[in-house]
């Protein structure tokens, strides 16, 4: 294929030739060969595919929430060409055997992938780290979905084991000792009072969750994790940083960090509308903190954006705040929302490219990914930067069928390619998905 007249993130107009799985040429002007498909991309933006280093595809164990087939289709529809799945499935990915079990689920993936290994008291590091794990983590310093929170001693041992094998460590940084138990007590007392007065209790008092899992809990955990990582000489990455202080703590110790679209674009001010659908870990923060996070994403302090795509069904989320599961979907909407931010002038396309592709490839050592250059994998996303459409949960490919960004404007892909194969195409409102060609990026020679 020859993609002609495309605009790259830095504004250059280039023709891009794809041969097999790779980019064969990037020039001002190329002539199409006789047997070559020529795609006119005039007025279109061509980006390297997003590398989403933090998703939860829920298989094995919870296929009613998301499967590798549905999750990878959602990824492709959102311009994501590589995903990294986290270990808190059922069984958790903490042994060689459970890694192999998860690997059997990946045959349905239409995008490339990595599989992270997890840490629990039952983990088997020798056999787990013998597998082609992408990274160790998300290592949970406090319980979240799957209840894989571990103590300080096991965390230090895990960081040492991974570092000895040259494996990066990603950390869910919350310190449960800093949670505010009085927030739950106040919430439950208020519900009891409302019930006694004959009013319907506010089962969806979602702001109580943000009050419970405090900003200080994140900062304390980031500082502790970075101290352990620095002592071990580890490559440590902080997942879903949600506060300016947490980001600054990681940056000050030369550790990398990511921010999710929901912590970038949503705050506690949105919880009246979201209810328990806005419960996630770490929780949404104040509008002031959200703005501080956005500033650090825009100015380069934050290394990358990852989604923490964590789908649950509507029925599961439609519960009281202390009973609903934590997590929101996001793999399909992250890049479109960031491109909409660029369209509005709040980010530029180069920053979006770096946050979603170039920097993740550098942080996690994916030399074939993340750039539109000769010899790189032809993981490409073609979009019309001026064409927007509303985000609608019922129209998304994810199985859960909802989104916290309902009604937001997004700039969605027209075409997504993985190693030269078109895995997603949208024409005149009709979507077509490609075959299951995804491979483990740590297994490729």
Spans of all domains in the chain: 50-368
Q: Which residue has the tokens 């059922």?
A: 90
> Mean pLDDT over residues 231-242, rounded?
97
Please tell me the distance from the alpha carbon of residue 71 to that of residue 52, in angstroms, as a whole number: 12
Q: Are 433 and 73 in contact (CB under 8 A)?
A: yes
Position 145 pLDDT exceeds 90: no
Closest CA to 113 of 67, 163, 170, 55: 55
> Mean pLDDT over residues 366-391, rounded?
98
Mean pLDDT computed over every residue of the chain: 95
Residue 385: the pLDDT is 97
Position 146 pLDDT exceeds 60: yes
Report the range of poorest mean pLDDT among 148-157, 170-179, 251-260: 148-157
Position 406 pLDDT exceeds 60: yes
Residue 142: the pLDDT is 80
Catalytic residues: 308
Please tell me the distance from the alpha carbon of residue 86 to that of residue 145, in angstroms, as a whole number: 11
- Percent composition of the chain: helix, strand, coil (DSSP 3-state, to 5): 35, 20, 45
Residue 199: the pLDDT is 67
Closest CA to 184 of 166, 218, 208: 208
Bridge partners of 172?
140
Whether omega before 91 lies within 30 degrees of 0, making that bond cis, reads yes
Residue 41: the pLDDT is 97
Residue 200: the pLDDT is 59
Position 202 pLDDT exceeds 90: no
Please tell me the distance from the alpha carbon of residue 339 to that of residue 333, in angstroms, as a whole number: 10
CB-neighbour burial class of residue 190 (10 A; exposed 0-12, middle 13-18, buried 19+): middle
What pLDDT band is residue 315 in, cutting at 50, 70 and 90? very high
Position 444 pLDDT exceeds 70: yes
Summarised one tens digit per residue, pLDDT across range 319-340 is 989 999 999 999 999 999 999 9
Position 373 pLDDT exceeds 90: yes
Summarised one tens digit per residue, pLDDT across range 11-20 is 999 999 999 9
**Distance between the two ends of the chain, CA-based, in angstroms?**
25
Residue 154: the pLDDT is 94
Position 306 pLDDT exceeds 70: yes
> Mean pLDDT over residues 411-433, rounded?
97
Phi, psi of 209 (to 5 degrees): -70, -40
Residue 190: the pLDDT is 74
Written as one string, the DSSP assignment of 230-257 is HHHT--EEE-S--SHHHHHHHHHTT-EE
What pLDDT band is residue 148 in, cutting at 50, 70 and 90? confident
The CATH superfamily of 50-368 is: Metal-dependent hydrolases (3.20.20.140)
What pLDDT band is residue 78 in, cutting at 50, 70 and 90? very high
What pLDDT band is residue 195 in, cutting at 50, 70 and 90? low
Bridge partners of 425?
415, 432
Rama region for 290: left / alpha / beta (φ>0; ψ in -120 to 50; rest): alpha
Phi, psi of 86 (to 5 degrees): -90, 165
Position 291 pLDDT exceeds 90: yes
């Amino acid at each position: 294929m020859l993609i002609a007249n495309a605009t790259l993130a830095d504004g250059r107009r280039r023709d891009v030739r794809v041969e097999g799985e790779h980019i064969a040429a990037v020039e001002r002007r190329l002539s199409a060969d006789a047997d070559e498909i020529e795609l006119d991309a005039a007025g279109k933006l061509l980006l390297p595919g997003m590398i989403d280093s933090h998703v939860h595809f829920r298989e094995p164990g919870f296929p009613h929430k998301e499967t590798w087939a549905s999750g990878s289709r959602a990824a492709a529809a959102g311009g994501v060409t590589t995903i990294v799945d986290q270990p808190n499935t059922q069984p958790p990915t903490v042994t060689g055997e459970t890694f192999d079990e998860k690997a059997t689920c990946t045959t349905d993936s239409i995008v490339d992938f990595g599989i992270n290994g997890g840490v629990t008291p039952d983990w088997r590091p020798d056999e787990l780290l013998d597998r082609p794990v992408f990274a160790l983590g998300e290592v949970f310093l406090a319980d979240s979905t799957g209840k894989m929170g571990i103590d300080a001693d096991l965390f230090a041992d895990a960081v040492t084991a991974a570092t000895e094998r040259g494996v990066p460590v990603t950390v869910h940084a919350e310190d449960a000792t800093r949670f505010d138990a009085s927030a739950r007590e106040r919430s439950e007392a208020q519900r009891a009072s409302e019930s006694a007065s004959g009013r319907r209790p506010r089962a969806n008092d979602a702001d109580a969750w943000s009050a419970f899992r405090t900003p200080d809990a994140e900062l304390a955990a980031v500082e502790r994790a970075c101290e352990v990582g620095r002592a071990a000489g580890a490559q440590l990455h902080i997942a879903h940083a949600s506060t300016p202080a947490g980001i600054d703590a990681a940056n000050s110790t030369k550790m990398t960090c990511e921010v999710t679209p929901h912590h970038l674009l949503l705050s506690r001010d949105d919880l009246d509308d979201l209810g328990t659908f806005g419960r996630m870990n770490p929780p949404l923060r104040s509008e002031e903190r959200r703005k501080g996070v956005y500033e650090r994403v825009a100015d380069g302090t934050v290394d990358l954006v990852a989604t923490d795509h964590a789908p649950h069904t509507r029925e599961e989320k439609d519960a009281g705040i202390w009973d609903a599961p934590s997590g929101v979907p996001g793999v399909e909407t992250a890049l479109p929302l960031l491109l909409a931010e660029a369209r509005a002038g709040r980010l530029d396309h180069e920053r979006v490219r770096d946050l979603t592709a170039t920097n993740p490839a550098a942080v996690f050592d994916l030399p074939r990914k993340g750039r539109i250059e000769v010899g790189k994998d032809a993981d490409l996303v073609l979009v019309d930067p001026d064409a927007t459409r509303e985000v609608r949960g019922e129209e998304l490919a994810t199985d859960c069928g909802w989104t916290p960004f309902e009604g937001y404007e997004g700039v969605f892909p027209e075409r997504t390619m993985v190693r030269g194969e078109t895995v997603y195409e949208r024409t005149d409102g009709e979507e077509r998905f490609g075959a299951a060609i995804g491979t483990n990026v740590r297994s490729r020679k």
